[in-house]
Amino acid sequence: IVISSFNVSYARNMHSTRRISSFLILSQRLTCKKPCFLKVLPTVDGNRKLSICSVNLNKEEFPDLYPGTDLKITNTLKILDPLQQEGIPVYQVLNASGEVKNKDEDPKVEKSVLVNVYKMMIQLNSMDKILYESQRQGRISFYMTCYGEEAIHFGSASALNDVDLIFSQYREQGVLMWRGFPLESFMNQCYGNENDLGLGRQMPVHYGSKVHNFVTISSTLATQMPNAVGAAYALKMQKSNSCAVCYFGEGAASEGDAHAAFNFAATLDCPIIFICRNNGYAISTPVKDQYRGDGISARGSGYGIPTIRVDGNDFLAVYNVTKKARSICINENRPVLIEAMTYRVGHHSTSDDSSAYRSANEVKYWKDIDSPINRLRNYLENKGWWSEEENENLKKEVQKNIMQAFLKAEQTKKPAVVNLFSDVYDSWTPRIKKQYEDTMKHVQKYPNDYPTNKFAT
């Protein structure tokens, strides 16, 4: 509504500023029944018209008390103390004895699927033992086990679709195993031989497979998280009917990249499942020294992300929540955070000795009393779907298959030296070519120091 207007010469001299200022002073002397503001409008003859306009404040048009929020006013001073609030509960289907307390929550997974899951848990456990011991013998350079976290791997992987894009950390080899990554490929990667998909350029346990939609692992904590969100946003734009899945530990959740990823996913409504395996330790730092408040789940709620906390040693519970989370991602284009409570039974890696910061009894409890493998086995035995005899036969068969793949990888030559220089650029630059030639001259000059017979040509 124009209350008053004035023609303003579009002056090209030093007095133009003074003219505008006089109008501003004049506007302050006007009496408006409503809040008003000045607006300069162009006219047909090339001049400017200064209008004093009223502001229409309509509560119906601005219903929120504060922009973007739906808050209520209180006249009582109360500072919320998160330590005094009730924590987010842990969702569980199977207890440690393998019993389902609430029958309505049993997903009733088929026998064949459950037996296959159990077999893969045993296979993963056995592979971890063999590769860990091989590092101790000096046969490979490094390894990381995932003892105690098997239910998170297979519970989530079996609830996903194979087209979903996986961004893992470095303790999710079970997810890749579920998708069909062969034992030989695991061994080739840990040995870094010529059959390794990465041609020996990555350290052991840093798997990746384009065929299995499993993005190559990065050692640096939390770098995969914003990458995963970006991929999820792309999937949303493509309307691909798939989602991204990002695994990380509670230690990685303290990295800045984690918070950027959460906020990015929430504000852009990205179809991504964040799966935090809270295993109690960030290398040697226990959770009590990592954060205050209600763990990682509370952060999801704070960022506006649908969140659930689940018993990470319970295959059925992890399966249920992942299935539900994927449904939300696909049907609503929203992120979901799953905090899986579990325990890292093994050392952080072959570079760690966890006996320096935790007791043997603590580890023994989680290894023998409440491991995800024992819990699922109890469930199968309670249903009459598994026996001790089958268990012993399975262990022998699995160990035999793993050792065959292990020995084959060990005897395979390392990648050709030329692979040190390939794939840096699409085609070799003069500098790369010279580096290669200089390296080969050096190797040929000192043949006793470089066992080239162990490398492919």
| Tens digit of each residue's pLDDT (9 = 90 or more) over 208-229 | 999 999 999 999 999 999 999 9
Q: What are φ and ψ of residue 181, in 5° steps? A: -65, 120
CA-CA distance, 155 to 135, in Å (whole number)? 28
What is the C-alpha end-to-end distance of the chain, expressed in Å? 83
The arithmetic mean of pLDDT across residues 64-81, rounded, is 80
Q: Are 137 and 299 in contact (CB under 8 A)?
A: no
Q: Please give the biggest Cα pair distance in the chain.
A: 101
The arithmetic mean of pLDDT across residues 339-345, rounded, is 98
Instruction: Identify the pLDDT of residue 25.
Output: 45
Q: In this model, does residue 37 exceed pLDDT 90?
A: no
Fold category of 94-411 in CATH: Rossmann fold (3.40.50)
**What's CA 423's distance to the chain center, in Å?**
27
Lowest mean pLDDT among 38-52, 145-159, 319-333, 404-418: 38-52
Q: In this model, does residue 28 exceed pLDDT 70?
A: no
In single-letter form, the type of residue at position 356 comes to A
Judged on CB neighbours under 10 Å (0-12, 13-18, 19+), 274 is buried
The residues annotated with a catalytic role in the active site are: 133, 219, 348-349
**What's CA 114's distance to the chain center, in Å?**
25
Which segments of the chain belong to CATH 3.40.50.970?
Answer: 94-411
**Which tokens sit at 104?**
């309505």
The single residue listed with the structure tokens 């103390």 is: 81
Residues in CB range of 400: below 8 A, 6 or more apart: none
Neighbour count for residue 133 (Cβ, 10 Å): 12
Residues in CB range of 372: below 8 A, 6 or more apart: 121, 148, 149, 150, 151, 152, 312, 313, 314, 315, 342
| Tens digit of each residue's pLDDT (9 = 90 or more) over 346-386 | 999 999 999 999 999 999 999 998 999 999 999 999 999 99
Q: Are 3 and 54 in contact (CB under 8 A)?
A: yes
Q: In this model, does residue 176 exceed pLDDT 50?
A: yes
Residues in CB range of 133: below 8 A, 6 or more apart: none
Q: Are 113 and 327 in contact (CB under 8 A)?
A: no
CA-CA distance, 333 to 82, in Å (whole number)? 30
Q: Are 278 and 340 in contact (CB under 8 A)?
A: yes
**Which tokens sit at 417?**
């030296």
**What's CA 168's distance to the chain center, in Å?**
6
DSSP state, residue 28: H
**Which tokens sit at 68?**
């973007």
Strands of 36-42's sheet in order across: 2-8, 48-54, 36-42
| Tens digit of each residue's pLDDT (9 = 90 or more) over 101-146 | 999 999 999 999 999 999 999 999 999 999 999 999 999 999 999 9
CA-CA distance, 9 to 26, in Å (whole number)? 16
Q: Where are the beta strands (DSSP E) in 18-132?
A: 36-42, 48-54, 90-91
CA-CA distance, 305 to 322, in Å (whole number)? 15
The model carries a pTM of: 0.85
The arithmetic mean of pLDDT across residues 293-301, rounded, is 95
